[in-house]
Amino acid sequence: MLDVQGLDVDIGPIPILRQVSLQVPTGAMCGLIGRNGAGKTTFMRSVMGLLAASAGSIGFDHHDLVKVADFKRAHFGIGYMPEDRKLVPSLTAEENILLPVWSTEIPDAEDRLAWVYKLMPEVADFRARASTSLSGGQQKLVALARALMVGERLLLLDEPTEGIAPVLARRIVEVLSDLKQEGLSVLIAESNDTHLHGLLDRTYVIERGSVQDQ
Ligand SMILES: Nc1ncnc2c1ncn2[C@@H]1O[C@H](COP(=O)(O)OP(=O)(O)OP(=O)(O)O)[C@@H](O)[C@H]1O
């Protein structure tokens, strides 16, 4: 379970998140819904340790992640799919997917990759292609596959259906639905929950850096 309590995050002198508390219970799929600039990305980057918290705690697996160095957080089985995909352009799709494996030395990487390809066979089909030759939606699938390689326990997905062709957005929702059956804990940030109907066990609304439970 991810249990965030009273999280404050500042960027420079500006307070961005204020007293954010939310929980993602084990096996639950939760939504973090808010318009552009509400603080969704800031929240996810804070959980990953890419932004420092100025107050509060990020409880996961009996640890307070605020006290754990960012490079060690991937070892907790947390996978992160950034909004802008952040694929390495000079690498193929598969090399991008395997990037976190090289840094975290996952022991069962081959089995995990086979599982990811079973979940998204189309990614296996274009695995040898340069990431730059893929469409925006295909790149999102690659970013999701990369997050799944390490995200055995918790997935943080930042706007997975945003800005891509409707057919691929629907495909991503289908994959999310399959992941729900697998019992993964997932937090999905989106600007609205129209694509996510029926998938979310719990929805948090974020507005100007503050979260309300719904
Ligand atoms: N590097 C930065 N410097 C100053 N302000 C920032 C910086 N990064 C984000 N912000 C501000 O923090 C607030 C929250 O941004 P954040 O990216 O977390 O929102 P978001 O909900 O993810 O929206 P979006 O979908 O547009 O990314 C916004 O007001 C944004 O302008």
Choosing from 7, 18, 41 the residue with most ligand 1 atoms within 8 A of its CB, the one to mutate for a pocket test is 41
| pLDDT (average), residues 126-132 | 95
Contact 150, 77 (CB under 8 A): yes
Burial state string for 108-142 with b = 16 or more CB within 10 A and e = fewer than 16: ebeebbeebbebbeebbebbeeebeebeebbbbbb
- Closest residue by Cα to residue 131 from 174, 172, 175, 99: 99
- What's the confidence (pLDDT) of residue 72? 79
Residues 6+ apart with CB under 8 A from 156: 44, 47, 48, 78, 79, 80, 81, 147, 186, 187, 189
% of the chain with per-residue pLDDT over 70: 99
- Most confident range, picked from 39-53, 67-81, 99-113: 39-53
Q: Between these two residues, 193 and 205, which has the higher pLDDT value?
A: 205
Has residue 100 got a pLDDT over 70? yes
**pLDDT tier, 183 (very low <50, low <70, confident <90, very high otherwise):** confident
Dist. CA 50 → ligand 1 center (Å): 14
Has residue 73 got a pLDDT over 90? no
Residues 6+ apart with CB under 8 A from 44: 80, 82, 156, 158, 187, 189
For domain 27-48+77-213, give the CATH number.
3.40.50.300
Mutual angle of helices 136-150 and 93-104, in 10-degree steps: 20
- What's the confidence (pLDDT) of residue 193? 85
Measured distance CA(96)–CA(171) in Å, rounded: 20
Dist. CA 165 → ligand 1 center (Å): 24
- What's the confidence (pLDDT) of residue 213? 63
| pLDDT (average), residues 1-20 | 95
ipTM of the complex: 0.90
- What's the confidence (pLDDT) of residue 85? 73
Dist. CA 37 → ligand 1 center (Å): 5
| pLDDT (average), residues 109-117 | 94
Has residue 214 got a pLDDT over 70? no
Measured distance CA(88)–CA(90) in Å, rounded: 6
- What's the confidence (pLDDT) of residue 205? 96
Mutual angle of helices 93-104 and 109-119, in 10-degree steps: 140
Report the nearest-CA residue for atom 24 of ligand 1: 36
Contact 152, 111 (CB under 8 A): no
For residue 43, which atom of ligand 1 is closest to its CA?
18
